[in-house]
């Protein structure tokens, strides 16, 4: 088989090229890495050119650049738009990495580096699949690539780019590898992503830090108050108490829930992996449902007062927290941000002032399982993994997916090859070489199936 042979024959170069890309610390959140982000974009452009794109360009935005490339063969063939992101999360805390995050190493058949799975390793599979199809003369679709540099910070400039370039980006399907599958033995295709509403809260008490003995007991402590306010955001059934929060949540039918829960999942193994004695969440829902189809509210960070060495007796002036809510259809990110702001502000006692500052957000998205593109992806997975993939709902967010549907009027297929154990966003992020190569092969088969329809 030609495709398999080509991949097999170029394995070591396919790895080396990805390692070179992983050496570039393209952290979008930190302005210190701005030049590196541009260098990563240049690397992607060059890779697209070398793989056989007719056109590969760097598109400037108000933030980090977007790389666009294409190979248009014929107006009669279907067009696939590949989306991915070359930016990565910050690698902190560096001391918890076994090897430096931007000095990739291959160990136990896995590549260790920040971005190895999310998303450099995954979008690079698409460039190598494209190269494979070009070199074996078997590309039977038009291909467009849009690889952005701001996914990890909310994709706000991509939003503008997509709205302004709907003709350029016109396509029959959007193909994305930036999600996980259940396991190598149980291939799956993600058909749902949660939305996000992320904000920061500040509670202010007295106008300065005070002696906790002289004033303690008589003046509100903003850290105490913030903790009470946050604690009240869930009730004893694990439901979120923000007024109106569940109003637009779509409840799934019993059949849909049963189908979701048929996915292989071992609760004991899950607990063992995380070193927890029990799972936790909304009453009446399984773990799969709690992460896939139910919304959440979590504190991502909380600070205030003295946190240095030893003890300092202080009644702090301010307390802060970063709070995220994961959303499900049909919740709207802007509306939830508003509901939270109103609710949280109303919780504050007279003794403190509260300020809520929104960060980024994104809408939830569900992709269809009855489309030709899904059928092509399913057949491609089955061919390579030997099993029909199961549709799953992932808990993470890719904010741009819902915009694609609205602006480009095209469906998305989330053909991801990561594993939950790949430690994305964590120290020692990695990506299996097997996932990388089987992913490339599956993507090649996707084109063949989709192009032959």
CA angle 20, 21, 25 (to 5 degrees): 110
Select the span of 32-40, 142-150, 173-181, 233-241 touching ligand BES (CB under 6 A): 173-181
How far is Cα 169 from Cα 146, in angstroms, rounded to an integer?
9
Q: Interface mask (CB under 6 A) for ligand BES, residues 126-155, using x and -?
A: -------------------------xx-x-
Per-residue tokens: 160: 């503008």
Q: Which does 101 bind (CB under 5 to 8 A by kind): ligand BES, Mn ion, none?
A: none
Of positions 70, 172, 178, 422, contacts Mn ion by CB under 5 A: 178
CB 37, min distance to ligand BES, A: 15
Q: Give burial (CB, 10 Å; 0-12/13-18/19+) of 452.
A: exposed
Q: Which is nearer to ligand BES, 70 or 151 (CB)?
A: 151
User: Both tokens of residue 181?
Assistant: 């599958």
Among 17, 36, 70, 118, binds ligand BES (CB under 6 A): 118
Site for Mn ion in 109-148 (CB under 5 A): 118-119
Those residues whose C-beta lies under 8 Å from the C-beta of residue 114, and which sit 6 or more positions away, are 22, 25, 27, 88, 89, 91, 101, 102, 429
Q: What residues from 381 to 400 belong to the interface with ligand BES (CB under 6 A)?
A: 394, 396-399
Q: Which is nearer to ligand BES, 119 or 429 (CB)?
A: 119
Q: Which residue is nearest to ligand BES (CB)?
A: 396
User: Which one, 362 or 451, has the nearer CB to Mn ion?
Assistant: 362
Q: Which is nearer to ligand BES, 36 or 119 (CB)?
A: 119
Q: What are phi and psi for residue 318, nearest 5 degrees?
A: -135, 155
Please list, in sequence order, all residues whose beta carbon lies within 8 angstroms of the beta carbon of residue 307, skipping any fewer than 6 positions away: none
Report the nearest approach of ligand BES to the CB of residue 196 (Å).
Answer: 5
Least distance in angstroms from the C-beta of 118 to ligand BES: 5
Helix (H, G, I), strand (E, B) or coil at 301: strand
Site for ligand BES in 272-311 (CB under 6 A): none
Contact in structure between 49 and 56 (CB atoms under 8 Å)? yes
The residue among 168 and 359 lying less far from ligand BES, judged by its C-beta, is: 359
397's contact among ligand BES, Mn ion, none, with CB below 5 to 8 A by partner kind, is ligand BES
Touching ligand BES, residues 179-238 (CB under 6 A): 179-180, 193, 196
Cα–Cα distance, 105 to 113 (Å, whole number): 7
362 makes contact with ligand BES (CB under 6 A) = yes
Span from 39-47, 130-138, 177-185, 360-368 in contact with Mn ion (CB under 5 A): 177-185
87 binds Mn ion (CB under 5 A): no
Q: How far apart are CA 203 and CA 342, in angstroms?
A: 15
Smallest gap from residue 307 Cβ to Mn ion (A)? 28
Of 238, 195, 179, 154, which is closest to residue 328 (Cα–Cα)? 195
- Total binding residues toward ligand BES, as defined by CB under 6 A: 17
Rounded distance, CA 54 to CA 316, Å?
60
Contact partner at residue 442 from Mn ion, ligand BES, none, CB < 5 to 8 Å by partner kind: none
Q: Is 1 helix (H, G, I), strand (E, B) or coil?
A: coil
Supply angle C-alpha 422, 118, 180, rounded to 5: 55
Give, for 49, the enclosing helix (H) or strand (E). Answer: helix 34-51
Instruction: Give residues in contact with ligand BES (CB under 6 A).
Output: 118-119, 151-152, 154, 178-180, 193, 196, 360, 362, 394, 396-399
Q: Give the residues lining the site for Mn ion (CB under 5 A).
A: 118-119, 178
């Amino acid at each position: 088989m030609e495709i398999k042979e080509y991949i097999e024959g170029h394995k070591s170069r396919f790895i080396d090229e990805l390692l070179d890309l992983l050496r570039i610390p393209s952290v979008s959140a930190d302005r210190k890495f701005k030049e590196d982000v541009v260098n990563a974009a240049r690397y992607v452009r060059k890779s697209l050119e070398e793989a056989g794109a007719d056109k590969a360009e760097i598109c400037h935005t108000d933030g980090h650049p977007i790389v666009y490339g294409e190979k248009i063969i014929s107006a009669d063939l279907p067009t696939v738009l590949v989306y991915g992101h070359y930016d990565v999360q910050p690698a902190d805390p560096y001391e918890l990495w076994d090897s430096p995050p931007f000095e990739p190493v291959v160990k136990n058949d896995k590549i260790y580096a920040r971005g190895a799975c999310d998303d450099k390793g995954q979008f690079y599979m698409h460039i190598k699949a494209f190269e494979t199809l070009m070199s074996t003369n078997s590309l039977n679709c038009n291909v467009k690539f849009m690889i952005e540099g701001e996914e990890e910070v909310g994709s706000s400039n991509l939003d503008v780019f997509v709205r302004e370039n709907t003709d350029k980006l016109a396509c029959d399907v959007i193909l994305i590898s930036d999600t996980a599958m259940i396991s190598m033995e149980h291939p799956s295709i993600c058909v749902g992503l949660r939305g996000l509403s992320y904000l920061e809260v500040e509670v202010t008490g007295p106008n300065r830090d005070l002696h906790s003995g002289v004033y303690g007991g008589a003046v509100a402590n903003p850290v105490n108050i913030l903790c009470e306010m946050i604690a009240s955001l869930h009730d004893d059934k694990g439901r979120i108490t923000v007024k109106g929060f569940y109003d637009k949540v779509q409840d799934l039918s019993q059949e849909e829930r049963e189908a979701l829960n048929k996915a292989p999942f071992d609760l004991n193994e899950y607990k063992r992996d995380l070193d927890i004695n029990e799972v936790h969440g909304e009453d009446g829902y399984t773990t799969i449902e709690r992460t896939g189809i139910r919304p959440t509210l979590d504190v991502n960070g909380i600070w205030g007062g003295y946190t240095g060495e030893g003890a300092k007796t202080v009644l702090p002036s301010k307390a802060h927290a970063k709070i995220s809510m994961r959303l499900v259809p049909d919740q709207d990110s802007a509306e939830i941000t508003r509901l939270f702001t109103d609710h949280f502000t109303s919780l504050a006692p007279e003794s403190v002032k509260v300020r809520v500052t929104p960060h980024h957000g994104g809408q939830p998205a569900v992709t269809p399982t009855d489309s030709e593109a899904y059928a092509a992806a399913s057949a491609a997975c089955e061919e390579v993994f030997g099993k029909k993939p199961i549709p799953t709902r992932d808990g993470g967010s890719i904010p741009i997916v819902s915009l694609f549907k609205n602006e480009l009027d095209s469906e998305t297929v989330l053909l991801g090859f990561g594993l939950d154990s790949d430690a994305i966003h964590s120290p020692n992020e990695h990506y299996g070489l097997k996932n990388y190569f089987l992913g490339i092969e599956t993507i090649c088969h996707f084109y063949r199936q989709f192009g032959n329809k």
